[in-house]
Amino acid sequence: MPTVSVKWQKKVFDGIEIDISLPPYVFKAQLYDLTGVPPERQKIMVKGGLLKDDGDWSAIGVKDGQKLMMMGTADEIVKAPEKAIVFSEDLPEEALATNLGYSAGLVNLGNTCYMNSTVQCLKSVPELKSALSNYSLAGRSNDVDQTSHMLTVATRELFGELDRSVNAVSPSQFWMVLRKKYPQFSQLHNGIHMQQDAEECWTQLLYTLSQSLKAPTSSEDPDAVKALFGVNLLSRLHCQESGEESSEKESVYSLKCHISHEVNHLHEGLKHGLKGELEKNSPALDRTALYLKESLIDSLPRYLTVQFVRFFWKRETNQKAKILRKVDYPLELDIFDLCSPDLKKKLEAPRQKLRDEEGKKLGLTSAKSGSKDSDVKMTDAEGSSNGSGESSTVNQNEGASSEKETHMTGIYDLVAVLTHKGRSADSGHYVAWVKQESGKWIQYDDDNPSMQREEDITKLSGGGDWHMAYIIMYKARFVSM
Amino acid sequence: MAPAQDPNSVGGGAKRDEATLKVPSKDPKKKDDKKEDDLSEEDLQLKQNLELYVERAQDPNPELQKAALESMRQDIRASTSSMTSVPKPLKFLRPHYGTLKEFHVKMAESDLKKMLADILSVLALTMSAEGERESLNYRLTGSEGDIGSWGHEYVRNLAGEIAEEYTMRQGEESSIDDLMKLVQQIVAFHMKHNAETEAVDLLMDVEDLDLLLEHVDSTNFRRTCNYLTSAAKYLPGPDDMLVLDIAYMIYIKFSEYPNALQIALFLGNMQYVKQVFTSCTDLLKKKQFCYMISRHGITFELDSEMVANDDDKEMLQDIVNNTKLSEGYLTLARDIEVMEAKTPEDIYKAHLLDGRASSGPSVDSARQNLAATFVNAFVNAGFGQDKLMTVPSDSTSGSAGNWLFKNKEHGKTSAAASLGMILLWDVDSGLAQLDKYFHSNENPIIAGALLGVGIVNCGIKNDCDPALALLAEYIGKEDSSVRIGAIMGLGIAYAGSQNDQIRSSLSPILADAKAPLDVIAFAALSLGMIYVGSCNEEVAQSIIFALMDRSEAELGEALTRFLPLGLGLLYLGKQESVEATAEVSKTFNEKIRKYCDMTLLSCAYAGTGNVLKVQDLLAQCGEHLEKGDIHQGPAVLGLAMVAMSEELGLDMEIRSLERVLQYGEQNIRRAVPLALGLLCISNPKVTVMDTLSRLSHDTDSEVAMAAIISLGLIGAGTNNARIAGMLRNLSSYYYKDASLLFCVRIAQGLVHMGKGLLTLSPFHSERLLLSPTALAGIVTLLHACLDMKSIILGKYHYVLYFLVLAMQPRMMLTVDENLKPISVPVRVGQAVDVVGQAGRPKTITGFQTHSTPVLLAAGERAELATEKYIPLSPILEGFVILKENPDYREE
C-alpha cells in the first residue's frame, strides 16, 4: 500500500495510505475526513491528469511518497442574484435621460443657435415649464391669436421632448411656428436663413408666452410670465430747462446693462441703464425738450433678466457692431441699491434674516446642530419656492410685499447665461450655459451639452473673442420668515 | 566601433619612462629641446644629427651604418610617445624618407636591412600615402622585434593596415600566416595595455576571435567580455553569435558563471546553460542561476548531472519553477506598505476632476463595470486581495459573487478570470478560490474560471501540473466560450513549455472542420505561445493547414489574425529559421498572405535590431494601398519589434515612426501608437508620452484608442503621475464615449498595475535578455489592438489577460544563504554605459541609497552600498543571493 502526501491549499497531509485494491472514491472519502471537502467537489491532480472516481490505481501508477494535489472547497457555489442586474446598456433611451442629470441638446437647423440657446435658457425656469404644462390645447381664450397659440403649444412640446430625450432634439416644429409668428426670423441670405439676434428672439418669445399664458380664469394677476420676469420700474422725469418733474411707472421684462468706458461691472452698467435722457414734449415750454429720466426698481421678479447692450448700429458698416468690453458679473447679485425707497424698506427685514442665517452657516454660532438646522430650512425654503411656483405665480407680484412665508431679499443667484461669440449680432455663435438643479453647469452648444465648471461661467464676461455674456438670468433668493 | 578611450595615455606612459632613461645617455640636452618652439638650437642640433645619421646609414661601412641606424632608432623611440603633434625626429626625417627607401631596396639581406626596415616602418606612419600600407610591409620585412617599443600609435596604425591588408588578401585568397603572427603580437600588446577594445576590433577584422582566449587574463576579461556583448548587438548574423560564443567561453574560463549563464540564455543555447551548471560546484551559486533562469521565463529541467543530490535538485527546481515568486513579491509589497487593496475608484480619482465626469449615472453600465473589473485585476495583481472579487462571502446576501454578476454575459468570463490575476503566482490559494466557479451553471463563468486557472499558473510550474489536469477536459466541451477559456488558460500557463501533451490535444482542433473560428484562432494562438520560438515543424504544419482550410469569408474575420500570429510566435527571434514557412505563406489566399508575411517577418526578427529588416518593413509602410488591406498594421508593429532591442535603434525607430505617422494611411496611423507603446513599454519617455497624448485626441477614434492603450503600456506599473493625470483628463474628455472611456480605464489600470510594483518590459538583466514568453504576450495584445472594435471592445476583451505573460515584479530582493529575505543598503541610480570606458568608471549616476527590497525603474541599476555582503550575481535584479564577505571588518 503506497503512502502519499496530499497538498490541499497551503496544507500538506503526509502519509496517507492508499488501498490500491479499492476504487479512488474510497481515497476521496479518506480526504473528506481530513479536509471536509465532499468527494464530489474534490479534484485530485496526478501528474497532469485528474483522478477519476472509478479509475484504476494501477493504471495511474501511484508511487510511494508521491505528492498529489487536491483542489476543492466546501464553499458555497456562487449563484446569480435573484434580481437580475439592470445595465444602462439595456435600458431604453428615455430611461437613460433621467440618469444623465441634464436634458438633451437641440439640433442646429441652420443658423438657429440663437433660438436654441434662448430655448435652453428659458427651459431652465421650472415655473415657466409648469405654467406651460397647465396651458391646455383647448383652453385658448379669444384674445390670443392663432399663431401665438401655436407657438405656445410648440414651446410646451419642445420643453417636454427635451426632458424625455437622450439624443439631441430637432426643434423643426417650433422653428416653423416661430417663423410664422415672427416672419422677420425667416430672412434669407444667399438662400439660407440668417443668423438672428438672440435678444429679439428672447423678447418676442416671452411676449408671446405672456400673452397666451394669461389665465382666463384668474382675475388678480393673470399674467404668469410677467409675474416671473417682469420688473416694475418707477421713473422720475426731470426737465432741466423748465424744472418740470413727473413720474411714471413702467414694466419691463429685462434690465439693460449699458456699456460705456466707465462700465467694468454689471452693477455700474445697470445703474447706467436706469438713467437716461429722452426728448419729450414739455407742456411748460410747449416744445420738445430734453428730459432726464431716472428709474428705480419698484418690484422684484422671480427671475431677473439682464441684457448686456453689446450691439449698436454702426452706420459706417451698416451692421450691428459689437462692444467687446469686459463687463464682470457676479454669481450672486445684490440689487438693493437700485430699488425704490419703498421696496428697500420691505427688503430690510428679510435681508437681515438672510444675513443671520449666512452668519450661522459660516460658523459664527457655536452650535453645529444650529447651522445644520438652518441648512435644512434653507433647502426647505427653496424647495417650497420651487414647488409652489405655480401657486405663487397667481399673486406673485405681491410675493415680496404680502406677508407670506417666503420673502424676496434682493439677492439673486446666476442660473443661466446666453453668450455670443463673434463680432456682430447677425453672425457668430450663440451658446447657452445653464445651471442645473444639481448645481452643475451645462453648456448647451446646439446639440452638444457638456459639463462646465462654475468658475468658467464668470469668465464669459467678454474682453476677447471668447464667448461673452449677452443675456444673463438670475434667480431670486428667498428667505422664509 | 571606435574605442572611446585614448589608449595613448596609458600605453605612452611606459614609453616615456623608457625615453627618459635612454635619452640622457645619448644627449643630455635633447629632452629639453622638445619644450622649445621652432628651430631652437636644440632642434637644429637634432636635425643636423638626424641628417648625419641618414647620410651615415648609407655609408658602405656596416659598423658606421649600424651605429647610425641605432642612433636614429634611439631618437625616434625617445619621441614617439604622443601623436598630438608629429614628433620632431619624424618631422626632420620626412625629407629623407625617399632616400632611405631607395637605399633599403639596394641593401643586401642582412640584420641591418631589417633594422632599416623597422625604422622605415615607423617613418611610414606619417609618410606613406593612404592605402599603401608601407608601414605594414616594412614591418613584415623587419626584425620582428618588440612591437610595443615603437609606441602605441604605431601599433594602432599597424592594426588598421592589417585589417586592410587582410580584406585584400581574403579577396586574393593568399596566405595570411605572416599577418596572423603580427596580429598575435599586437593583440598581446593591446591586452596588456588596457586596450581590450582595440584588440577585439582587430580580431573581429581578421575574423579570428579565438585568439582572444589566450590573451585574456583575470584583470581584463570583464572589460573584454563587456565590449564583446555590447558589440554583438551591432554585428550582422552569424558574427554576433560567434562573438557571444567567445564571451561565453571567456566567462567560463574565468569561472564567471553568472555572466556565462546570461550569455547562454541570450544565445538560447541549453547546452551552454547545462555546462554552466555542471562546471559550477557551488550550490549557492546554482541557486542564483535558478533565479536567473526563472526570471527569463523558460522551462528548464534540472537533471542529476547538473545537481547530484536529489534534495538539492528539488530545491533548485522549485526556484526554477518560480514557486517562491509570490512570496517574494508579497515581501516587497509589505516592505513598501502597499498591501491595502485598491478599488477602481481609487485609481480613477474622479474627485480630482472638476465638475465634468463626476456625475456618474446611477445605473450600472456593463461596459464600465467590465473596465472596473480589469482595472481591479491589474491593480491588485498578485496581492491576493482586492475589494471586488475576494471580499469574504456573506451567506445572507451571497455577496461573494456580487461583483461577478455586475458583469454582463461574456463580461463574467473576464470577471471570474480576474480572480486568477489577483491571486497571480499563488497557485494554492488561487485554485481554492477559483474552485467555486467551476460549479457554476453559467458557461461564461466556467470559462472565466478556466482562464483564471491558467493565469494563476502563469510562469509557475508544478509537478502535479494542476492547470493541465483541470483544463484538459474542458477543451472538447460543447460551448465555445468554455473551450476558449480552457485553451487560452493552457496557452498562458504553459507558454514556452513545449508540452507535447497539450499539443496533441490542441492540434486536432485546428484540423476540425466543425470547430468555430474563434476556437480555432485561440487554439492556434495558444499553440504559438506554448511553442514560442521553438520552430516546431508539426505545430507549424497544423496552423498552416488550418489557415489553408479557412473560407474567404472567415479570412476576413478579425480573429483570423491570430492564426498567422500563432505561426509567427513559433519563430519568435529565430531569424532565418522562418524562411521555409515564409515561402509556404506565399501560397495562402491573398486576403491573409501579406498579413502572414509581415507577421512572420516581424516575429522572426523580433529583438534582433536587424537594420535590413527594418528597411524592408518601412518599405511596406511606404506604400499607399487600396482600402481593405490590413497587413501594414503588423508591419508597423514589426518595426518596433525588430528595433526594440537596443537603445540607439530604439531612438531611431521612434523618430522614423513620426515620419510614418505623417505620411502613412489611416491603417498605418492606427498602428503607430501601438508600436510606440511597444518600444517604450513600462518606460515612460517624455517625448513618446507627448506624442501619444497628442494622438489620444486624434479625430480618428481608432487612433485615439490605440494611443490611449499605449499610454497605459508605456506607463505600465510605474504609477507615473504625468500619465495618470493625462488619462484622468482624457476620462473627462471622453466621458460620453463609452468605447474610448473603456480604453482610458484600461490604460489607467495598466499605469497602476500591481500598485506600481510590476513591469511589462520583456527585457531584463540590464536590458540584455529578452524573455520570449513576455514578448509573445505583449505582441498578441498589440495584434488584437489592431482591430480594437471587434476584439477588445467586442466580446474577446479577455485577450487583455495575455499581458500577464509579461508581468514581472520590478524589484531587487536580496536573500541570504538560506533564501530568507534580508535588508541591506543599496544605491539605486540611472545606469551608465561603461563599455570601453577607461579605468573603473561609476556604473550608476544620480543615485539614492535605499535598503532592500527596492524597486528598479526602467534604465536604473542597483549596486550594494555595503561591503558586508557579496552578491552572487553581478546583475542586481530580481532575487539576488548575498553571501557574507569573509574579509569584511566592522569599522
- HEC secondary structure over B379-429: HCCCCCCCCCCCCCCCCCCCHHHCCHHHCCCHHHHHHHHHHHHHCCCCHHH
Residue A48 has its nearest CB partner, among B395, B429, B468, at B468
Residues in contact with A143: Cβ distance below 8 Å, sequence separation at least 6, in sequence order: A211, A214
Contacts of A46 in chain B (CB under 8 A): 464, 469
Residue ranges of chain A with per-residue pLDDT less than 50: 218-220, 366-404
Angle between helices B647-663 and B611-622 (to 10 degrees): 10
The answer to whether B596 and B638 are in contact (CB under 8 A) is no
Q: Taking the C-alpha atoms of B105, B109, B114 and B119 in order, what is their torsion angle to the nearest 10 degrees?
A: -20
Q: Identify the residue among B323, B353, B431, B502 best suited for mutation to test binding to A, counting A beta carbons within 10 A and taking the highest.
A: B431
Whether the CB of B361 is below 8 Å from some CB of chain A: the reply is: yes
Catalytic residue among A193, A238, A265, A429: A429
Catalytic residue among A113, A201, A239, A339: A113
Nearest-CA distance A352 → chain B (Å): 33
The answer to whether B570 and B531 are in contact (CB under 8 A) is yes
Residue B879, C-alpha cell as written in the block: 532575487
Interface subset of B 469-528, CB within 8 angstroms of A: 469-470, 472-473, 501
DSSP B762: S
Nearest-CA distance A357 → chain B (Å): 27
Whole-angstrom distance, CA of residue A75 vs CA of residue B432: 9
Residue A48 has its nearest CB partner, among B405, B439, B465, at B465
Contact criterion met (CB < 8 Å) for B436 and A75: yes
Query: What is the gyration radius of the CA atoms in chain B, in angstroms?
Result: 33
Whole-Å CA distances, A262 to A311, A338, B514: 17, 18, 84
Residue A454, C-alpha cell as written in the block: 462654475
Length of chain B, in residues: 891
Nearest-CA distance B441 → chain A (Å): 8
Nearest-CA distance A28 → chain B (Å): 17
Q: Identify the residue among A78, A441, A452 best suited for mutation to test binding to B, counting B beta carbons within 10 A and taking the highest.
A: A78
> Which 3 state secondary structure label does DSSP give A164?
helix
Contact criterion met (CB < 8 Å) for A89 and B367: yes
Contacts of B435 in chain A (CB under 8 A): 41, 43, 71-73, 75
Contact criterion met (CB < 8 Å) for A46 and B367: no
Whole-angstrom distance, CA of residue A61 vs CA of residue A109: 81
Contacts of B468 in chain A (CB under 8 A): 48-49
Whole-angstrom distance, CA of residue A93 vs CA of residue A168: 12
Residues in contact with B569: Cβ distance below 8 Å, sequence separation at least 6, in sequence order: B525, B528, B529, B531, B532, B533, B603, B776, B779, B780
Residue B813's Cβ-side half-sphere holds a number of Cα atoms within 13 Å equal to 28
Task: For residue B525, give the nearest of B603, B582, B623 by alpha carbon.
Answer: B603
Task: For residue A41, give the nearest of B458, B393, B431 by alpha carbon.
Answer: B431
> Which 3 state secondary structure label does DSSP give A333?
strand
The answer to whether B419 and B384 are in contact (CB under 8 A) is no
Contact criterion met (CB < 8 Å) for B436 and A78: yes
- Tell me whether residue A113 is one of the annotated catalytic residues: yes
Contact criterion met (CB < 8 Å) for A79 and B398: yes
Residues in contact with A398: Cβ distance below 8 Å, sequence separation at least 6, in sequence order: A404
Contacts of B469 in chain A (CB under 8 A): 43, 45-46, 48-50
Nearest-CA distance B628 → chain A (Å): 31
The answer to whether B280 and B870 are in contact (CB under 8 A) is no
Contacts of A86 in chain B (CB under 8 A): 363-364
Residues in contact with A47: Cβ distance below 8 Å, sequence separation at least 6, in sequence order: B463, B464, B465
- Tell me whether residue A272 is one of the annotated catalytic residues: no
What residue in B sits closest to A448 (Cα-Cα)?
Answer: B736
Residue ranges of chain B with per-residue pLDDT less than 70: 1-39, 79-86, 354-363, 392-401, 627, 891
Q: How far from chain centre, in Å, is Cα B128? A: 44
pLDDT tens track for B472-484 = 889 888 899 999 9
What pLDDT is recorded for position A402? 43
Whole-angstrom distance, CA of residue A291 vs CA of residue A236: 10
What residue in B sits closest to A98 (Cα-Cα)?
Answer: B361
Residue A73 has its nearest CB partner, among B355, B436, B470, at B436
Amino acid identity, position B554: E
Supply φ then ψ for residue A94, to 5 degrees.
-60, -40
Contacts of A76 in chain B (CB under 8 A): 393, 395, 398, 400, 436
B688, with CB counted inside 10 A (0-12, 13-18, 19+), is buried
The answer to whether B610 and B576 are in contact (CB under 8 A) is no
Task: For residue A154, give the nearest of A198, A127, A122 by alpha carbon.
Answer: A122
* pTM higher than 0.90: no
Residues in contact with A445: Cβ distance below 8 Å, sequence separation at least 6, in sequence order: A105, A431
Length of chain A, in residues: 481
Q: Identify the residue among B439, B460, B731 best suited for mutation to test binding to A, counting A beta carbons within 10 A and taking the highest.
A: B439
Contact criterion met (CB < 8 Å) for A48 and B429: no
B737, with CB counted inside 10 A (0-12, 13-18, 19+), is middle
Contact criterion met (CB < 8 Å) for B361 and A88: yes
Nearest-CA distance B413 → chain A (Å): 14
**In the block, residue with C-alpha cell 640622457:** B24
Interface subset of B 396-435, CB within 8 angstroms of A: 398, 400-402, 404-406, 408, 428-429, 431-432, 435
Residue B428 has its nearest CB partner, among A10, A90, A454, at A10
Whole-angstrom distance, CA of residue B7 vs CA of residue B194: 7
Supply φ then ψ for residue A187, to 5 degrees.
-50, 135
Contacts of B436 in chain A (CB under 8 A): 73, 75-78
What residue in A sits closest to B363 (Cα-Cα)?
Answer: A88
Residue A103, C-alpha cell as written in the block: 436634458
Supply φ then ψ for residue A237, to 5 degrees.
-105, 135
Contacts of A440 in chain B (CB under 8 A): 355, 359
Nearest-CA distance B406 → chain A (Å): 7
What pLDDT is recorded for position A405? 65
Residue spans of alpha helices (H) in A101-181: 113-123, 126-134, 146-164, 172-181
Residue B306, C-alpha cell as written in the block: 547538473
Nearest-CA distance A350 → chain B (Å): 33
Contacts of A9 in chain B (CB under 8 A): 428-429, 431-432
The answer to whether B776 and B804 are in contact (CB under 8 A) is no
Residue A86 has its nearest CB partner, among B363, B472, B735, at B363
pLDDT tens track for A9-37 = 888 888 888 888 888 888 888 888 888 88
Dihedral of CA B658/B659/B663/B669: which sign? negative
Contacts of B370 in chain A (CB under 8 A): none
> Which 3 state secondary structure label does DSSP give A114?
helix
Contact criterion met (CB < 8 Å) for B464 and A91: no
Using omega within 30 degrees of 0 as the cis cutoff, is the peptide bond preceding B238 cis?
yes
Contacts of B357 in chain A (CB under 8 A): 451
Residue B626, C-alpha cell as written in the block: 487600396
With an 8 Å Cβ cutoff, the interface of chain A facing chain B consists of 7, 9-10, 41, 43, 45-50, 67-69, 71-73, 75-81, 85-91, 95-96, 99-101, 438, 440-441, 450-454
Q: How far from chain centre, in Å, is Cα A140? A: 30
A&B contacts, CB < 8 Å: 125
Whole-angstrom distance, CA of residue A369 vs CA of residue B561: 66
